[in-house]
Amino acid sequence: MTEIVLKNTSGMAFSTEVDGHTIEVDADPQFGGQDRGPKPKPLLLLSLAGCTGMDVVSLLNKMRVEYADFKVRVQAEMTDEHPKYYHKIHLIYEIKTRPEFHAKVEKAVNLSQERYCGVSFMLRKAAELTHEIAYEELPATGS
C-alpha cells in the first residue's frame, strides 16, 4: 500500500514528502493561493510523462538504440464544466535518432502505452489518451 499525507501549511498550500523529497502544491492566487507550488492537476501530467518516459528510456537502452535529446511533451485539454478534468491528453515523444532505430522507438513507446505505464492505464479510463513520435535525425556515427 502507498500512502501520501498532505498537510495544509497555510491558505490553500499543502506540503508532503514523497520518497524523501518535499513537494508543495498551491492554488492560483485568484482562488486564494499564494503561488507557493504547482497546482495539483499539472502534476498529474508530470506523473504521466515521467512514467512513460522512464519506460521508454529503459526499453531503448535494452534495445541498444542510439538516441539523444529525448523529451516527452504532454498537451492536455480540460473540460469547461465542473468537475474540471483533462478529457483529452496527447503525448508527443520527441527523440533524436537515426532512421534505422525508428521501429525500435515505436516498439518502446507502444510497449509503454499498452503494457508498462500504470499512469497511462489509469488516465485512459478517464480521458482520451493519444500519442505520436516526432523524430529529429541523429547524424551518423563518425560524421
- The pLDDT value recorded for residue 140 is 78
- The pLDDT value recorded for residue 139 is 84
The long-range contacts involving 107-116, CB below 8 angstroms and separated by at least 24 positions, are 107/59, 107/63, 108/55, 108/56, 108/59, 108/60, 108/63, 108/65, 109/52, 109/56, 109/133, 111/55, 111/59, 112/52, 112/55, 112/56, 112/59, 113/52, 116/55
Q: Which residues of the chain have a pLDDT value below 70?
A: 142-143
pTM across the whole model: 0.93
Q: What does the alpha-carbon distance between residue 6 and residue 17 come to, in Å, rounded to a whole number?
A: 8
Provide the total of helices (H) and of strands (E) in the chain, helices listed first: 3, 6
